[in-house]
Amino acid sequence: MHILVTNDDGVQAPGLLALAQAMRKLGRVSVLAPDKNWSACGHVKTMSRPLRVNETRLADGSPALACDGAPSDCVALALMGVIEEPVDLVISGINPNANLGLDVTYSGTVTAAMEASINGVMGIAVSLEIPADLQGAPDFMTAATTAAELARQLYAAPRRAARQPIWNMNLPYRPNGDYAGVQITRQGVRIYQDALDKRLDPRGHPYYWIGGDHPTGRDDEGTDFGALVHGFISLTPLRMDMTDPDGLEDAPELSLN
């Protein structure tokens, strides 16, 4: 199996290194990731300028490619031929914060997996809920080893030929590997606590920061947020078709008359 590893935190992020090392146990690994942090970039396709790809090395000395585009650009480039050997699986991460609920629309980690599916390859996004008060460097290797084993099982599982799955994987922070289990979940309710900070530059012109406290969520049974709260790994199947079936059912009768 040929596996593409990418992320949205930059090619030198420790989460990517741990994931690449763990995935090597499953097959050949290629790395093509952004050359800088693209967190919360959403689903991007760069069409207004050329994209550049440069050779680099990860901290363990293994070769990688770095691109000045977004995570979804990296996946598109790899699958369209920058990496010549066909890719069987794309895995993105490990993001150092969970991507839950509506986070999937913002997350470069998740949209990299979406781009894989658009191009006919299974995509898996991996995120780790690291405690905000953690002292010292976080451990990514336990999560990476677990994610690799779950990725192996997801790839081997029967699936419909008409589509390529997108899986959003979120792991609680358990360096000892003492997870409560794995749950297949739906997207939960994310509660954002954004705040607008207006400031003035030295010339008196206003500028803005979007800040606020870390988002929380609603502990509903069967949801990604609820699973994480109770120590479970959450696996949420996603799809690119965002059509609202209730909207189709409830749409009013419209006329141009």
pLDDT tens by residue, 89-142: 999 999 999 999 999 999 999 999 999 999 999 999 999 999 989 999 999 999
pLDDT at 162 over 70: no
pLDDT at 24 over 90: yes
* Dihedral over alpha carbons 18, 21, 22, 26 (to 10 degrees): 150
Question: pLDDT tens-digit profile of 68-93?
Answer: 999 999 999 999 999 999 999 999 99
List, in sequence order, the alpha helices (H) in the chain: 14-23, 71-77, 103-106, 108-118, 141-156, 224-229, 245-250
pTM (predicted TM-score): 0.94
pLDDT at 34 over 80: yes
In the numeric block, the tokens 């609603």 are attached to 218
pLDDT at 62 over 90: yes
Q: Can you list the positions of beta strands (E) in 44-203? A: 53-57, 63-67, 89-95, 122-129, 166-172, 181-184, 190-200
Instruction: Give residue 204's region: left, alpha or beta (phi > 0; psi -120 to 50).
Output: left
SS3 (DSSP) at 85: coil
